[in-house]
Amino acid sequence: YCDAWYSLANLKVYQFGDDELSSMQALDDNPHLGGQDRVYLQFALGKAFEDRKDYEQSFHHYAKGNAIKKNQLQYKAEGTTQECDDQITACTRQVFERETGHTAPDPIFILGLPRAGSTLLEQILSSHSMVDGTLELPNVLSISGKLRRLGQREGHQKYPFNLKDLSAEQLATLGEEYIRDTQVHRMGAPFFIDKMPNNFRHIGLIHLIMPYAKIFDSRIYPLDCCFSMFKQLFAQGQEFTYGLAEAGSYYNRYVKLMDHWDKVLPNKILRVNNEDVIDDLEGQVKSCLLYTSPSPRDS
């Protein structure tokens, strides 16, 4: 029942007793334990020893669990680097110097990296009566996949280079598609949140199809972010987190791409540092609400 041990650890507030720790350590010595069970167990042991302030043993088990999980995956950092470099090369300022997309101001995108405070930011914003909280919606990733498949056809440029070839009508249609397909997750408020962290790779696409959407970049100190990702066993995806070198490299790619978006889309993105939210909650909330307020053009 290693998934049960991990589920208890993942509650964050649960602390294992001596008998439970002994049971988990006995399991760790079992040579017949399966690969995924062993992953669950290592992350649970990491949390158990962390709570006891035995950080050497805690890191040993986190590192062991990450190593096993990494060997089960086929993540290549080169692919992430190429994808980010393609966005930087393709999405120049000139690409955005046109009136495009669907005019709906409804979406509020919260993006960034996992474990960087995006859930806290979503909870703050969705507590407002005019904002619906939803899920980590896959719709932008789906649209980017559609454009990627289009780019694989003969005579078409690959995504994201084909963004500049899309007409205003095509971009507006994609924006309408996003608004329509996300309607099922909404409860009737004028605005809604899409908290898919990986959307930071597609900010150019988001702006082109929904130029009045609001975008928050939720960020936390790099060491805190990368180590927190390292300690977290994700249900799916986030394959770059199962190694400190991989997490650090991915963080650097993310920062480089976000710096590019700031250059080509100045004042489009509001960066919210988790440390600032903790230190000055009221001031940061006011800043966020001011940013999300509809402009005269939106209304």
pLDDT for residue 111: 97
Q: Determine the Cα–Cα distance for residues 19 and 112; give it in Å rounded to an integer.
A: 40
User: For residue range 107-154, what is the model confidence (pLDDT) as tens digits?
Assistant: 999 999 999 999 999 999 999 999 999 989 999 999 999 999 998 887
For residues 109 and 87, give the distance between their C-alpha atoms in angstroms, rounded to a whole number: 18
* Nearest in space to 119 (alpha carbons), one of 138, 140, 139, 133: 133
pLDDT above 70: residue 212: yes
Beta bridge partners of 215: 109, 269
Q: Is the pLDDT of residue 58 over 60?
A: yes
Encoded tokens for 223: 């060491």
Q: What is the pLDDT of residues 149-171, one digit of tens each?
A: 998 887 779 999 999 999 999 99
Whether 189 and 131 have beta carbons less than 8 Å apart is answered as yes
> What percent of the chain has pLDDT above 70?
98
Position 293 confidence tier, pLDDT thresholds 50, 70, 90: confident
Q: What is the predicted pLDDT for the residue at 297?
A: 44
Alpha carbon 167 to its chain's center: 29
Q: What is the dihedral of CA 6, 10, 11, 17, to 10 degrees?
A: 50
Query: Do the beta carbons of residue 90 and residue 203 sit within 8 Å?
Result: no
Is residue 237 a contact partner of residue 73, using CB atoms and an 8 Å limit? no
Strand 269-273 and strand 214-219: pairing?
A: parallel
φ/ψ of 217, rounded to 5, equals: -105, 105
Mean pLDDT of 210-234: 97
The per-residue pLDDT for 23 is 97
Residues 242-280: pLDDT tens digits? 999 999 999 999 999 999 999 999 999 999 999 999 999
Question: Between the CA atoms of 216, 221, 227 and 232, what dihedral angle is there, to the nearest 10 degrees?
Answer: -30
Using 50, 70 and 90 to split pLDDT, how confident is the model at 236?
confident
Q: HSE (CB half, 13 Å, CA atoms) of 150?
A: 15
Calculate the average pLDDT of the chain.
94
Q: What is the pLDDT of residue 47?
A: 97
C-alpha 272/C-alpha 171 separation (Å) is: 28
Residue 27 predicted with pLDDT over 70:
yes
Write out pLDDT tens, residues 60-112.
999 999 999 999 998 999 999 999 999 999 999 999 998 789 999 999 999 99
C-alpha count within 13 angstroms, C-beta hemisphere, residue 58: 14
Three-state secondary-structure class, residue 128:
coil
Per-residue confidence (pLDDT) for residue 4, from 0 to 100: 97
* Tokens standing for residue 299: 């209304």
Confidence of residue 294 (pLDDT cuts 50, 70, 90): low
The answer on pLDDT for 299 being more than 80 is no
Mapped onto helix, strand or coil, the DSSP state of residue 291 is: helix
DSSP track, 59-90: HHHHHHHHHHHHHH----HHHHHHHHHHHHHH
Q: What is the pLDDT of residue 128?
A: 95
